[in-house]
A = this chain, B = another copy of it.
Amino acid sequence: MTTHDPRRLAWAYLSRVAQGPHRVLRDFAAEAGPEGAADAVSRGALGERLQVRSHIDTAQADLDLVASQGGRLITPDDDEWPMWRLLAFDGAGMPVGNDQCAPLALWVLGAVSVAELTERAVSIVGTRAATSYGEHVTAEIAGDLAIDGWTILSGAAFGIDAAAHRAALGVGGSTVAVLACGIDRAYPSGHSRLLHRIAQTGAVISEYAPGTTPAKHRFLARNRLVAGLGSAVVIVEAGWRSGARNTAGWARKLGRPVLAVPGPVTSAASKGCHRMIREGEACLVADAHDVVAEAGMAGETDEGRPSMFREIDALSESALLVYEALPASGTLSPRELSDVSSLPLATVRSVLPLLELDGFVASDETGWSRVART
């Protein structure tokens, strides 16, 4: 048994209690900190549903269990939190709102930083009932993208998902599996070896606490993370009514390009892709080159990062407060900035990287400073 940081324990507790995405709780935690949020949950201040579960405090055990398997909990406090990945983008690739679809925290198996893994990532999903054509094309596209340095995100399901993960592994590339159950569970069980291999070089991640079993609503929530963590979603084969279309829906909501691979019109497995292309819900892609052409444009500047703020006028209120809290010269720590701006530390921490991305602020070992604007 390890001694865990109380703040991390609080995040683990919240993750367990929330049992999936919970915007109110997440926003509250961002403002009041995880310990404040945990306190509010147990007081019933965030609703009865959460209060009913508030006695389930397995945070210590959960963190221990995951640690024993080589895993960890990552939170908005961590450098590897893929914060910008969880933003929604508008049609021009500009972030809108903020981390609307972000999870409270993520349970992770795998040694590499999640932020690093998802920096250049594409999601590839499709039907479990894949044809040999679909698996072949998935292998081609995922393999070419992985060779080109893109991380392949998918859901570890049978069929297209598995073909995508395997292709990335096969070329020595990175791949991330997002699960709809706890990361201690191999689902589907037939993929336990695959999941193990994914965690060795990439990551197996979930927003569900250890031990959580897969359920329909969790697959739907999981699809949002698959969509959000990548620059684009590629659907290789999808039947007329397919879970892949749910992922596509999330991608559209989050401003990620939805790309679909066509196939023979005689194949039922391609009907969903054709329909999405025909109805303008997806753009046709035939190879990795086409995917990069679309994914490379989405929400990224030339430097491969989102350009959130072009003008100070366009800064969000929090961002503006943080920016204005910085002195004209010299540096401040996030905690000092929190004090000066009266913003919660988590907010300051979430805003600073965005300000940095667009060149408003810079950081070094002494802290954060303003960048002179030309």
Interface residues of A (CB under 8 A from B): 133, 136-137, 261-266, 270-271, 274, 277-278, 283-287, 290
Cβ B274 vs Cβ A278 within 8 A: no
Query: Chain B residues with Cβ under 8 A from A261's Cβ?
Result: 265
8 Å CB contact of A284 from B136, B274, B286: B274
Task: Compute how far the CA of A285 lies from the CA of B277 in the bound complex, rounded to whole angstroms.
Answer: 9
Question: Is A278 within 8 A of B290, CB to CB?
Answer: yes
Contacts of A137 in B (CB 8 A): 264-266
A284 with B264: CB separation less than 8 A: no
- Give the distance in Å from the alpha carbon of A261 to the alpha carbon of B284 in the complex: 12
CA distance A137 to B261 in the complex (A): 18
Q: How far is the CA of A182 from the CA of B265 in the complex (A)?
A: 37
Taking A277-B284, A278-B285 as contacts, is the C-beta distance between A264 and B265 under 8 angstroms?
A: no
Cα–Cα, bound, A290→B274 (Å): 11
Q: Which of B136, B265, B285, B287 contacts A286 (CB 8 A)?
A: B265
Smallest beta-carbon distance A340→chain B, Å: 51
Most chain B C-beta atoms within 10 Å of own C-beta, residue among A136, A262, A290: A262
User: Is the pair A284, B262 in contact by a Cβ cutoff of 8 Å?
Assistant: yes
Contact across chains for A278 and B271 when beta carbons are under 8 A apart: no
Contact A286 B271, beta carbon cutoff 8 Å: yes
Find out whether the CB atom of A136 lies under 8 angstroms from the CB atom of B278.
no
CA distance A278 to B137 in the complex (A): 17
Most buried by B among A270, A278, A283: A278
Please name all residues of chain B whose beta carbon is closer than 8 Å to the beta carbon of A270 when the two chains form the complex.
262
Tell me, in angstroms, the Cα distance from A277 to B265 when the chains sit together.
14
CB distance from A310 to the nearest CB of B (A): 28
Q: Is the CB of B290 within 8 A of A286?
A: no
Q: A137-B266, A262-B284 are in contact. List 16 more A-B contacts (CB 8 A).
A: A133-B266, A137-B264, A262-B262, A262-B263, A262-B265, A262-B277, A263-B263, A263-B264, A264-B264, A265-B287, A274-B284, A277-B277, A277-B284, A278-B284, A278-B285, A278-B286
Look across to chain B and name the residue whose beta carbon is closest to the beta carbon of A282: B284
Q: Using Cβ atoms and an 8 Å threshold, which residues of chain B touch A274?
A: 262, 284, 286
Q: Which 3 A-B pairs have the closest CB atoms?
A: A262-B262, A265-B286, A278-B284
In the bound complex, residues from chain B placing their C-beta under 8 Å from that of A284 are 262, 274, 277-278, 284
Q: Report the minimal beta-carbon distance from A372 to chain B, rounded to whole angstroms.
A: 43
Bound complex: CA A83 to CA B286 (Å): 40
Q: Is the beta-carbon distance between A133 and B277 smaller than 8 angstroms? A: no
Taking a contact as CB atoms under 8 Å apart, the answer to whether A133 and B290 are in contact is no
A264 neighbours in B (Cβ, 8 Å): 133, 137, 263-264
Q: Give the CA-CA distance A98 to B119 in the complex, in Å.
A: 55
Least distance between A131 CB and chain B CB atoms (Å): 10
Query: How far is it, in angstroms, between the C-alpha of A278 and the C-alpha of B284 when the chains are bound?
Result: 5
Closest to A279 in B: B284
Which residues of chain B have C-beta atoms less than 8 A from A290's C-beta?
Answer: 278
- Distance of A18 from chain B, by nearest CB (Å): 41
Q: Is the CB of B283 within 8 A of A278?
A: yes
Q: A229–B73 Cα gap in the complex (Å)?
A: 66
24 A-B residue pairs with CB within 8 Å: A137-B264, A137-B266, A261-B265, A262-B262, A262-B263, A262-B265, A262-B270, A262-B274, A262-B277, A262-B284, A263-B263, A263-B264, A264-B264, A265-B286, A265-B287, A271-B286, A274-B284, A277-B277, A277-B284, A278-B284, A278-B285, A278-B286, A278-B290, A284-B284
